[in-house]
Amino acid sequence: MLTGVVRNLLVSLVLLAFSATAQTLSLKPDAPERYEVKRGDSLWSIASQYLDDPWMWPQLWQANPQVNNPHLLYPGDIIQLLEGENFLRLQPRLRIMTLQDPIPMMPLNRVEAFLNRDIMVDRNEFEDSLYIQTIEEGRTLGSQGDLIKTLGDLSPNVSHYGIYRNLEEIRDPISRRLLGHLARSVGSARLVRDGEGYEATMEITATHAEIRVGDRLMPFTASPFGAGFDPAPPQEPVSGLVIRSLEPNQTRIGQYQPLLLNQGRNQLRPGHLLQVMEPGKQRREPYEGYNIFAAENPRGTVMVYRVFENTSLALVMNSNQPIYPEDTFRQAPEPNATP
């Protein structure tokens, strides 16, 4: 169950002034009395470390009006665990080092690691894209740091490309309608030199598998989140199904793992929070013998990080049990809402 999300920073301070008293936050037994923020920390990571439910971190912020912006948490800020009170209090101290960079409210590295890994593409576009003609020294396999020659049209103002292999047909789990084709990432490359005609030289910057002659290259998509982001439920009702995990041969999907959804840009956008549910089922009452309907059971919360025409990619942010293909999803409940 999602118990808290970031409030929109444009909401009036008057609304905050009239909000209810901060809810009691359940702390983990090993939580210290005070914690000094370090580089790399965020409100999310601190809540994950010291609260039983990290999604309570917006109440943590809301209970401390001296924290003007949850995106701007600085090294040296103090988190105090008050004795006799079962909630944390953020207590920023005087910042002598005024040139320090603020810490984003939620680390983006987990999300951005998946942003260009697996993508939905049009088959014709994929087949017409750049491809690797040769790998340096005439090798058939390449690795990080190797130079490659590519053939095809470069995208204007693009210097980083994902390297992809194989297209997998993706269909809706229920209707079997074709939703598109999934391209699996095997690495990435950066442009080194734009040659004459269709030829260019690139350097392999990362590999997830051995790079081969004939692999395709597609332009990298920049992060839609910027320096920080506000995860929030969709404003309009939305529902759909989990198609599958993006990890090969995986049916049990856990925290910080990516998955594919059967709704696209008409329903979802990056940053949307969704609640994944175990579908309701007809079950037989063991003693009386009649059928009963077991209601949907919340499994966890996912955040959309990339959307396509008919599908979206999301990351499991919080789960109390594994998520499975064909689980249902809907917009996550608002703070203090009863699901």
Residue 285: its pLDDT value, please?
57
Do domains 13-107 and 239-331 share one topology? The answer is no
Rg for the chain (alpha carbons), in Å? 23
Fold of 13-107: Membrane-bound Lytic Murein Transglycosylase D; Chain A (3.10.350)
pLDDT of residue 228: 54
CA-wise closest residue to 319 among 249, 242, 262, 253: 253
Other beta carbons within 10 Å of 328: 17
Give residue 204's pLDDT: 97
pLDDT at 96 (0 to 100): 39
The answer to whether residue 87 scores a pLDDT higher than 60 is: no
**How much is the pLDDT for 283?**
58
Closest CA to 304 of 231, 238, 241, 248: 231
Looking at mean pLDDT, say which of 22-26, 134-138, 228-232, 316-320 comes out highest: 134-138
Phi/psi region, residue 326 (left: phi>0; alpha: psi -120 to 50; beta: rest), is left
How far apart CA 319 and CA 298 sit, in angstroms, is: 9
pLDDT at 246: 93
What local confidence, expressed as pLDDT, does residue 8 receive?
Answer: 37
Q: How many CB atoms lie within 10 A of CB 210?
A: 12
- Mean pLDDT check: name the lowest of 34-43, 112-121, 215-224, 269-278: 34-43
Better-scored residue on pLDDT, 198 or 91 = 198
> How high is the pLDDT of residue 284?
60
Angle at 275 between CA 272 and CA 279, to 5 degrees: 140
- The confidence band for 223, taking pLDDT boundaries of 50, 70 and 90, is confident
Q: What is the pLDDT at residue 248?
A: 82
Per domain, the residue ranges of the chain are 13-107, 116-219, 239-331
Q: How far apart are CA 228 and CA 103, in angstroms?
A: 9
pLDDT band at 63 (very low <50, low <70, confident <90, very high): low
Question: Is the pLDDT reported for residue 65 higher than 50?
Answer: yes
What is the percent of the chain with per-residue pLDDT over 90, rounded to a whole number? 43
CATH topology of domain 239-331: Thrombin, subunit H (2.40.10)
Closest CA relative to residue 162, chosen from 195, 214, 119 = 119
Rounded Cα gap, residues 20 and 267, in angstroms: 32
Confidence of residue 73 (pLDDT cuts 50, 70, 90): low
Joined tokens for residue 148: 């490659």
Q: Is the pLDDT of residue 282 over 80?
A: no
Contact 263, 224 (CB under 8 A): no
